[in-house]
Amino acid sequence: MADAVRWTLDTTMHRSVARRAEDAGLSETVPQQVIAEGARHYTESCAHCHGGPGMDAAQWSRGMRPEPPHLTEAAAEWEPAEIYWIAENGIKMSGMPAFGTLHGPEELRAITAFVLQLPGLSPEDYAAMTGEGAQGRTNTGSE
């Protein structure tokens, strides 16, 4: 029964985001400096809950319900416009806050561009882009 409820809630959330998401204004090719800016914002605002390649999320975020997805896998399930919409508006009834009041459209596009890179990013590349990983929270889950 719990699987059916989880599937229903997940499917409803995905469909709701897809319905509301509009074009995020991202071009097919994103300049490296935009991705680097997104990496900086991700480290400051997102990595605590979502982790990164070779880096677990902060231990305190594991108590959140629903548990924040590890974006190195989960980002592949979303379209760019959906990632942008989620970052801008958040997800109600979860721990995902709306960052649209803290970050402008260009910053949100940079975060989106970086999140789109996460599924194919090695732990070494992630550490180089963000300064995390080898020098940050590496698979310890502590914090």
* pLDDT value for 29: 85
Show me where the domains of the chain are located: 2-130
Cα distance between residue 81 and residue 141, in whole Å: 30
* pLDDT value for 104: 94
Instruction: Tally Cβ neighbours within 10 Å of residue 28.
Output: 4
Cα distance between residue 135 and residue 138, in whole Å: 8
* pLDDT value for 135: 42
The CA-CA-CA angle for residues 129, 85, 3, to 5°, reads 95
The CA-CA-CA angle for residues 56, 75, 21, to 5°, reads 135
* pLDDT value for 143: 42
The model carries a pTM of 0.84
Cα distance between residue 75 and residue 64, in whole Å: 19
Residues in the chain, pLDDT under 70: 1, 24, 133-143
* pLDDT value for 87: 96
2-130, CATH topology level:
Cytochrome Bc1 Complex; Chain D, domain 2 (1.10.760)
Enumerate the β-bridge partners of residue 55: 52
What does the DSSP 8-state code read for residue 133?
Answer: T
The DSSP-derived string for 46-111 is THHHH-BTTBPPPGGGGGSSSPPP-HHHHGGGS-HHHHHHHHHH--TTSS----TTTS-HHHHHHH
* pLDDT value for 6: 80
**For 73, how many CA atoms within 13 A lie in the half-sphere containing its CB?**
6
* pLDDT value for 28: 77
